[in-house]
Structure 1
Amino acid sequence: MLQSSDYDPLTAAMRPPPGETQEQREEREAAEAEALEVSNRIDAEIKASKQAMKRQKKPIRVLVLGQSMSGKTTTIKNFQMIYAQKSWAEERSSWHIVICFNLVRNVNTIADTLNEETTDSILTGRRSSLTEWHRSVLFRLSPLRRIENDLKAFLGAGSSESVEIHHPNRPNTSDGLRDSPSAQQISPPEDAKRPQEFCIWSSSGWKSILNQVKTRSAQGKESQVPRMVRAVLNSCKDDIHLLWNDPVVQSLLRAKHGRLEETPGFFLNDVDRILSTDYTPGDEDIVRARLRTTGVQEYRFTLDKGTGTSRDWVMYDVATAWIPYFPDITALIFLAPVSSFNERLMENPRINRLEDTFVLWKTVCSSKILANVQLILFMNKTDILRRKLEHGYQVKDHIPEFGGNKNEFSSVLEWFRRVFRKLFTDNNSSLNRKFIAHFTNVIDTKATQHTLQAGKFSTSRSESMALRYGCFKVQAAILRNDIEEAGLM
């Protein structure tokens, strides 16, 4: 009997079976050779996969931060429009129902304003500027209430959130730029309740809603809701025109909402085009469309144009409180709506929106968690700022620190730039991080089309600052260019 130290179980297992014939031996050796070939092939595939994973770069992860209606969603949309055109094209038709929803909301906002005017005139005993004609038009438009509710149910289970709309007559109660309390520190007064905006809980933003609409259409199970919406809107089209273009209505809207046409999701000037039988949402329509979502939003894009790489991008639309949960990010885009100098936070009317933006920017710059993250500041909505200044709004009336500076567009922009730069310099948590900032417009998607086609942007970095007056399309290219120049791609 063999000693245990001399026994090799592998040799014993590979030993030919007793009494094996020549034919059996050939079959056995052929099977073993085939098994060895399969094993070698699997090993080669595993090795190649490991090498590919080593070569593959991590996705670019970008946080997009800012107040509500600062332009975060529009920035993400434009990035997809420019660099992920395949998915953008696939989603295009699904935006139609969202745009119809925005249009219905526009009409019902007008109806709410006129109804409030009627109620207020009755309670105060004053004579209303509205006539029987206005009430008749409102009655004919009343089916749009049901249409709005049907669209809410069709688009997804929603909750309500406050709409941030400028109230030009609200007095300024500013306490200063640097020490302005955050919206969470002061409870809004009882009379600060405002209309509610429908929003949808989603972890993937508008994409999950669009996928739901697209899936129904692809399966031939489109709900009757979209067809009914288009039919009712067409029947109301003439009254919508009459109401929107009425001088009395325009005066009441300006007094209550400021310029309604400057708010996201406004389509009252495009009724005929949107309701035409051959209408397909254009790029500008999709950029302007508003579908509010709540929760942490994650948008994944496989870039397919102008990048020279298949590297993926992941963009997160988050609130400030969520920043600690995203340690592995490449860059942070901060949207600062500079046109909001004369507006108030809807959740707390005591706080100036732009001053609150200064506080948020200071918090971001001083965050130790973000010390290794490149910050990119978009001082946004400069076109709306220009119009406000042209209409006579004085920055010093709303932000006392502006003092005796000239109330001219270029001077105001320069002053805002200095404030943001000083907050960055005084609170920068990383000595190696540069100040990167840009001035941008809202949704003029045609203004720089030819520039975008070039795909490259030269920038002067003498002060690590480029003053660019461009549209949101430019924002997408600026963002990618900044991250490339910072060596983060």
Structure 2
Amino acid sequence: MGSCVSIESATAAAQSKKIDQNIKAEQRQAKFQQTVKMLLLGAGETGKSTILKQFKLIYGTGYTEEERIGYKTAILANVVTCAKALVYAMDSLKIPYGFEPPPLKETASGAFGSAFRSHASLNQPEKESGDTGSVRSLNEGKELGRVAKSAEEAYYAAGGENRQSGPSPKAAQVIRGCEMSFCFGIDESVPEEVIESIKTVWQDSGIQYCYSRANEFQLFDCCAYFLNDLDRITDPKYIPTDSDILNSRVMTTTITETKIKIQHVLFRVFDVGGQRTERKKWVPYFDDVDAIIYMVAISSYDQVLVEDNATNRLEEAMTLFSSICNHPIFASTAIIIFMNKIDIFKTKLKTVPITKYFPKFKGPNNVDKGSAFFASQFLALNANAKRKIYVHFTWATDTKQIKKVLATVYQIITSSNLKGAGM
């Protein structure tokens, strides 16, 4: 009996000693490991979740095969959602299938050389060719209006919404009838009839013209990326690549926390939904925030909100940023603005003048002047003259570029925290 008690006492003492040693080890590690709480904020459709994916790819362990397979369903859903959006927009914009836009009259600025691009070049980076960003004249705007009017007349002549004939209208009917809730599931693929129908409409010249007017309706930025690669994506053996995952769109409706260790710093990164209905969930996460990355889709200067078709997306982003950067709770918080989707912005400037949506803009319609203008608009909202807000122009799906940006952000945040600690 006595020996039994003695053994138990010795075991308990050993366990207690081990616990004490672990606690001391954790305390020693804590002295050398800084923890940073960071929020990803911004309106909807700005790329917050994409930046979080980049954190995982660059500083984490990447994606397992099981996680990649999980993204397959989301990507297929993106494909069907984009196809549906295009088909419905054909009717709302009054564009007939097979519509061939008449040639636009060349203007002095030459800004219309690529107004209507074929699907083969959509979503692909284009080379600079001098000053491609001259502001469109009133005549140029009238030219686009003339094409839209021509499309509407052809739409009614072809039979309108329900009486058009041919392969594309027939394929559009199949796409309309595809309900994603039962069209395919986790272990299934999109029905062959739907895939072929999507291929048919995507090759249609009317759909391509509709795509060129994507700012007039709600369409995922990943549309061309996925629809240009349907054969690969719909292959039964398809496994999403890093690029596919980065381009996929899944609306954020919950708060997610991702822990990433960069050198000796542990980053607790919180990603939150950006739509208006999701913002009430932000408040509980505002305490003890060390840094905020505020996401802005600079390419959305000609678009309206998903939840409010009367409000310009960039105007909304500015209003939201003003309330965040001037909130007393963030008085000492490092704030970095990511002017995201700079790649789309660059392409869009060739045909869409900033002045049409922001009359205050006076410079030539090019990337340098346009990006500087929008950066200045956001920086001017900061009421604290002593506070420095950092701006980076980003392409969230480009891992190489984001890696460089995040390295700079790391330096900003860690140096800011050291200053705050008096070190």
TM-score per shorter chain, which class? 0.7 to 0.9
Relative to structure 1, the CA distance from residue 314 to residue 53 in structure 2 (aligned partners, 3 Å threshold; closer, same or farther) is: farther
Which residue among 121, 128, 136 is the counterpart of 2:170?
136
Which residue among 349, 353, 366 is the counterpart of 1:389?
349
Work out whether 1:437 is the aligned partner of 2:391: yes
Q: Secondary structure at the match of 1:361?
A: helix
Q: Which of 1 and 2 has higher RCO (CA within 8 Å, sep 6+)?
A: 2
Which residue among 9, 29, 37 is the counterpart of 2:10?
37
| Cα offsets for 1:74-131 (capped at 9, x unmatched) | 1111111111125555512211111111112122223323455789999x99424763
Work out whether 1:103 is the aligned partner of 2:79: yes
Divergent runs of 4+, >6 A: 117-122, 259-262
Shift in Å, 1:135: 2.8
| Cα offsets for 1:443-477 (capped at 9, x unmatched) | 234xx2xxxxxxxxxxxxxxxxxxxxx3x454444
* Paired AA for residue 136 in structure 1: K
Q: Aligned ranges for residues 252-401 of structure 1 at < 5 Å?
A: 252-255=210-213, 257=215, 263-264=221-222, 267-295=226-254, 297-303=255-261, 307-309=262-264, 311=266, 313-318=268-273, 320-326=279-285, 327-391=287-351, 393-401=352-360
Q: Secondary structure at the match of 1:276?
A: coil
Supply the distance in 1 between the matched residues of 2:58 and 2:208 (Cα, whole angstroms): 36
Supply the distance in 1 between the matched residues of 2:235 and 2:296 (Cα, whole angstroms): 37
* Structure 1 unaligned blocks of 5 or more: 1-26, 152-223, 449-469
Tell me if structure 2 keeps the 8 A contact 1:265–1:288: no
Shift in Å, 1:309: 4.4
Shift in Å, 1:269: 0.8
Tell me if structure 1 keeps the 8 A contact 2:298–2:342: yes
Tell me if structure 1 keeps the 8 A contact 2:82–2:219: no
Supply the distance in 2 between the matched residues of 1:119 and 1:383 (Cα, whole angstroms): 27
Aligned length: 351
Work out whether 1:416 is the aligned partner of 2:379: no
**What is residue 186 of structure 1 aligned with on the other side?**
none
Q: Secondary structure at the match of 1:311?
A: strand
Q: How many percent of aligned residue pairs carry the same amino acid?
A: 23
Which residue among 61, 66, 75 is the counterpart of 2:42?
66
Shift in Å, 1:302: 4.8
**What is residue 114 of structure 2 aligned with on the other side?**
none
Asked which structure has the greater CA Rg, the reply is 1
Tell me if structure 1 keeps the 8 A contact 2:215–2:303: no
Supply the distance in 2 between the matched residues of 1:318 and 1:136 (Cα, whole angstroms): 37
Shift in Å, 1:253: 4.2
Work out whether 1:149 is the aligned partner of 2:171: no
Root-mean-square deviation over aligned CA pairs: 3.3
Supply the distance in 2 between the matched residues of 1:256 and 1:408 (Cα, whole angstroms): 20
| Cα offsets for 1:175-233 (capped at 9, x unmatched) | xxxxxxxxxxxxxxxxxxxxxxxxxxxxxxxxxxxxxxxxxxxxxxxxx8345434x1x
Q: Secondary structure at the match of 1:64?
A: strand
TM-score by length of 2: 0.72
Q: Aligned ranges for residues 223-242 of structure 1 at < 5 Å?
A: 225-230=185-190, 232=191, 234-242=192-200
Relative to structure 1, the CA distance from residue 382 to residue 312 in structure 2 (aligned partners, 3 Å threshold; closer, same or farther) is: closer
Relative to structure 1, the CA distance from residue 249 to residue 265 in structure 2 (aligned partners, 3 Å threshold; closer, same or farther) is: closer
| Cα offsets for 1:312-337 (capped at 9, x unmatched) | 53323255544442202221110112
TM-score by length of 1: 0.63
* Paired AA for residue 423 in structure 1: L
Q: Secondary structure at the match of 2:270?
A: strand
Tell me if structure 2 keeps the 8 A contact 1:63–1:318: no
Tell me if structure 2 keeps the 8 A contact 1:93–1:280: yes
| Cα offsets for 1:394-438 (capped at 9, x unmatched) | 222211222x323222112222222223322x346xx4x432221
Supply the distance in 2 between the matched residues of 1:475 and 1:99 (Cα, whole angstroms): 27
**What is residue 482 of structure 1 aligned with on the other side?**
412
Shift in Å, 1:382: 1.3
* Structure 2 unaligned blocks of 5 or more: 97-150
| Cα offsets for 1:244-299 (capped at 9, x unmatched) | 1111222244446559886246521110111224321011100111121324x113
Supply the distance in 2 between the matched residues of 1:265 and 1:119 (Cα, whole angstroms): 19
| Cα offsets for 1:151-176 (capped at 9, x unmatched) | 6xxxxxxxxxxxxxxxxxxxxxxxxx
Which residue among 200, 208, 215 is the counterpart of 1:250?
208
Tell me if structure 2 keeps the 8 A contact 1:324–1:369: no
Q: Aligned ranges for residues 52-201 of structure 1 at < 5 Å?
A: 52-54=25-27, 55-56=29-30, 57=33, 59-87=35-63, 90-114=66-90, 116=92, 126-128=156-158, 131-133=164-166, 134-141=168-175, 145-146=178-179, 148-150=180-182
Tell me if structure 1 keeps the 8 A contact 2:40–2:269: no
Supply the distance in 1 between the matched residues of 2:86 and 2:411 (Cα, whole angstroms): 42
Shift in Å, 1:353: 1.9
Tell me if structure 2 keeps the 8 A contact 1:334–1:377: yes
Of 243-252 and 61-70, more deviation after overlay is shown by 243-252
Tell me if structure 2 keeps the 8 A contact 1:98–1:289: yes
**What is residue 146 of structure 2 aligned with on the other side?**
none
**What is residue 133 of structure 2 aligned with on the other side?**
none
